[in-house]
Amino acid sequence: MGLVDWARIRSPWVIHFNTGACNGCDIEVVAALTPRYDVERFGIRLVGSPRHADILIVTGPVTKQVEKRLKRVYEQMPEPKFVMAVGNCCASSGAFRNCYNVYPGLDNVIPVDVYVMGCPPKPEAIINGVVKLIEKLRGGAS
């Protein structure tokens, strides 16, 4: 494992994007960043600008309205970049399945690396998702 992979695994910066979720998942994402779970231990930081971020955490159903903005935020992130779909709505459109204006899942719009299911998922589940992503990185590195 090279120096760059070592650094990449230890410093995942996340950005949070809400496509119009009911705020359930957002509260859980924010809760995962509180002192109780202390994700800074793993070097995880919440950043404001997509230009600084490594991981895009998307919550909420992906509507046709938000598609353009979501793609734009995704394209603004520098490579290498990863996407986490958090919550049932985001991963598989959840309660909004077969709605005329909702995509059946985030992977219809942008490539997704990790799905975290739950309505809403617990903060532990979200952190576990990030750990899975890091494992994936580590597996790709060796």
Using CB under 8 A as the criterion, which residues of the chain lie in contact with other proteins when the complex forms? 3-4, 6-8, 10-11, 35, 38, 40-43, 47-49, 51-52, 54, 76, 78-80
By beta-carbon proximity to other proteins, the closer residue of 75 and 97 is 75
| SS3 category, 76 | helix
Minimum CB–partner distance for residue 5 and other proteins (Å): 9
Measured from the CB atom, the residue of 119 and 141 that comes closer to other proteins is 141
* Comparison of 6 and 108: residue with beta carbon closer to other proteins: 6
Q: Shortest approach of other proteins to residue 13 CB, angstroms?
A: 8
Residue closer to other proteins by CB (options 4, 99) is 4
Q: Are 56 and 82 in contact (CB under 8 A)?
A: yes
Query: For residue 61, what are the CA distances in angstroms to 25, 47, 54, 96, 103?
Result: 11, 22, 22, 7, 7
For 82, phi then psi, to 5°, come to -135, 155
Q: Least distance (Å) from other proteins to the CB of residue 125?
A: 20
Nearest to 102 by CA among 58, 56, 67, 57: 67
> In angstroms, what is the minimal distance from the CB of 3 to other proteins?
6
Q: Of 76 and 92, which has the nearer Cβ to other proteins?
A: 76
DSSP bridge partners of 84: 57, 114
To other proteins, the closest distance from the beta carbon of 27 in angstroms equals 16
> Are the CB atoms for 87 and 25 separated by under 8 Å?
yes
